[in-house]
A and B are shown apart, each in its own frame.
Chain A
Amino acid sequence: MASHYEAPIRKPLITGNKTYHQISVDVARPIEGNANKQWWIVFSIALILFMWGIVCIIYTISTGIGVWGLNKTVGWAWDITNFVWWVGIGHAGTLISAVLLLFRQKWRMGINRSAEAMTIFSVIQAGLFPLIHMGRPWLAYWIVPIPNTFGSLWVNFNSPLLWDVFAISTYLTVSLVFWWTGLLPDFAMIRDRAVKPFQKKIYSLVSFGWSGRAKDWQRFEEVSLVLAGLATPLVLSVHTIVSFDFATSIIPGWHTTIFPPYFVAGAIFSGFAMVNTLLIVMRKVCNLEDYITLQHIELMNIVIMITGSIVGCAYITELFIAWYSGVEYEQYAFLNRATGPYWWAYWAMMTCNVFSPQLMWFKKLRTSIVFSFVISIVVNIGMWFERFVIIVTSLHRDYLPSSWTMFSPSFIDIGIFLGTIGFFFVLFLLYARTFPVIAQAEVKTILKSSGDNYKKIRDKNGK
């Protein structure tokens, strides 16, 4: 017991007197049981949204992107807003599993699996938007530097859009192997419990024959650590590069050096909000309240509060620097954001992202599940508005006042966005029924240090 000591001040991360076997049973339950009615209802809604999204995508591709609400002045709007929004959401997963692993935060273990799943699914949604925006997605391979036979041109490595191609595809694939490597022991656990032959076959296939030898575990831990070390700068680089899409341009309101840290903080902020949204529901539906405890939710709320404050500082810095720079175009861009025709979007962003997370300073509020859920939705809306404000308000006032215009989305714009939300939930709901949603092998390693039953024993023995 002495080797599993943890300071008594640390709250338990696993409650309900668990044993190793009980953890396996709890994690396998959603997979081995049947889906309930609520699951089917939510799944059907998500599937319908997804189908509607596909219809809108087919219409866009067959007719051309003129079916969107874009015009000559506002040439980028919902597509890139949605792209950045989804990529941002995709940042929490790798942050939780990589950065928190490097900092040896044990609370990551209850949530990392689902957060990584969320990352992968939301990066898929993000990737759809540039693909559709190409207009001819079957020529998407033109963004790859291949010696081409159509002319003598290569892709342009000076362009932030090409950097994005490399960043997002590296991020997606590295997150995927990180996720899958962590899944192997858990798939193996499901495989060894499976009674139905078909289930056994599938989980044997996906667990890659994991056997749990001492040597395998030694390598597994080394690989996890090195991947975490690689994924940490990677996750920071990805949103930095996404911010370069704007920051390297000369549009007032985009041309700012604060963008990289500001976007990264915003991404973590929105990602954690989405993790909270998903996990607050999932812990209830899958009976995982003993593993995703109130302590986990509170810690995520603290991260939301801190990153929300960083984002708030970035907003204020932007305003200050716009004034301080003495550049009147820059000053106008920001004045126009707050008081121009899109003032409502700006203040929706400010309210959702800067003011509402400050409520998390109150312990009563940040330990309230209902309140956490509401704030997580509010933050997601706010972060969508942030991207909309940055993109559309900077574009809709051109250098030529005769080109000044407004943007309003067409129903196709809205349809594709709703479609990606549907697609995301289709993937996540299927995941929640077929994958071990808790990293059970990792959770078992902290049972003796952070389980409530072991903590009680230590309290009683006085050490």
Chain B
Amino acid sequence: MANKFLHAIYDDDDKLMDAVKYLKKEGVYIEDVFTPFPVHGLDHILKLEPTRLAITAFIYGCVGLAFGILMINYIMIVDWPQNIGGKPSFSLIENIPAFVPVIFELTVFFTAHLMVITFYLRSRLWPFKKAENPIPETTDDKFLIQIPISNNEKDLKAKINKTDIFKIDIVENKNE
């Protein structure tokens, strides 16, 4: 882990985008970008892998659907079938219209909650977690590119100064 970082700070999302494009073209390794709001298209320029959260959501939905069907089948058909208004209590498939609402709700419940929990765990978000944005202004109106420095500080600075920069910070020993 590098113990010296260059923080290139911008005061506008378009300037940030141009800078990231330029730096990527120059082959500069960008460790992370911190922004106050989602800058559209940034993930493409940074070549971030698309997130797989939607796929997990689909799987969780299937789990919820299966759970709903199995639970109702056990409760209403297997364990204690009751004659309710003459409805076919002996067959899941014949009685399913009455079970659709609960099965649907359980599918949504599982999908939404498990997906959000996955998101929180993957992005390491939970109560008492310490925030990791290097400067507090990145949640307000500043955009920050974090670049690790080995022994190319001068070269990096020269490249960054060609962009529409607001401020450059050099930070040492960020990660202990």
A interface vs B, CB < 8 Å? Answer: 1, 3, 19-21, 24, 145, 152-158, 160, 162-163, 166-167, 170, 173-174, 177-178, 181, 184-185, 188-189, 191-193, 204-223, 225-227, 230-231, 233-234, 237, 241, 244, 441-442, 444-445, 448
Contact = CB atoms under 8 A, between A and B. Distances in A.
Contact of A230 (B71, B111, B139): B111
Interface of B: 13-14, 32-43, 46, 48, 50-51, 53-54, 57, 71-72, 75-76, 79-80, 82, 84-85, 87, 95, 98-99, 101-102, 104-106, 108-109, 111-113, 115-116, 119-120, 122-133, 136-141
Interface SS of chain A: helix
B37 A442 contact: yes
B108 A210 contact: no
Contact of B101 (A173, A191, A217, A241): A241
Contacts of A153: 80
Given A214-B43, A230-B108, A20 B84 contact: no
A181 B126 CA distance: 11
B140 A192 contact: yes
Contacts of B46: 214
13 contacts: A154-B80, A156-B82, A163-B105, A166-B105, A173-B112, A184-B125, A189-B139, A210-B139, A213-B34, A214-B46, A218-B43, A219-B123, A445-B40
Contacts of A222: 51, 53-54
Contacts of A207: 131
B130 A209 contact: yes
Contacts of B42: 214, 217
A225 to B, nearest CB: 8
A57 B54 CA distance: 44
A31 B112 CA distance: 30
Q: Which 10 A-B pairs have the closest CB atoms?
A: A209-B129, A192-B136, A20-B141, A208-B125, A163-B101, A217-B38, A166-B105, A21-B141, A211-B133, A444-B37
Contacts of B53: 219, 222-223, 226
Contact of B108 (A174, A216, A448): A174
Contacts of A188: 131, 133, 139
Contact of A208 (B37, B127, B133): B127
B157 to A, nearest CB: 22
B119 to A, nearest CB: 5
A174 B112 contact: yes
Contact of A234 (B108, B130, B136): B108
Given A20-B141, A213-B33, A158 B125 contact: no
A218 to B, nearest CB: 5
A214 B127 contact: no
Given A193-B136, A208-B120, A237 B104 contact: yes
A441 B113 contact: no
A156 B84 contact: yes
B101 A237 contact: yes
Given A226-B54, A441-B36, A167 B109 contact: no
Contacts of B133: 188, 192, 211-212
A4 B101 CA distance: 43
B35 A226 contact: no
Contact of B106 (A158, A166, A210, A241): A166
A19 B98 CA distance: 54
From A157, A231, A237, name the one whose CB has the most chain B CB atoms within 10 angstroms: A157
B138 A212 contact: yes
Given A192-B140, A209-B132, A441-B37, 12 more contacts: A154-B75, A158-B87, A193-B140, A204-B130, A208-B125, A212-B133, A214-B33, A214-B34, A214-B48, A215-B32, A220-B123, A221-B38
Nearest to B110: A170
Contacts of A444: 36-37
B107 to A, nearest CB: 9
A176 to B, nearest CB: 10
A157 B129 contact: no
A226 B115 contact: yes
A48 to B, nearest CB: 33
Given A24-B140, A219-B123, A445 B109 contact: no
Given A24-B141, A214-B42, A170 B37 contact: no
A170 to B, nearest CB: 4
Contact of B102 (A1, A157, A214): A157
Contacts of A152: 79-80
A24 B142 CA distance: 12
A209 B126 contact: yes
Contacts of B36: 20, 24, 185, 189, 212, 441, 444
Nearest to B119: A223
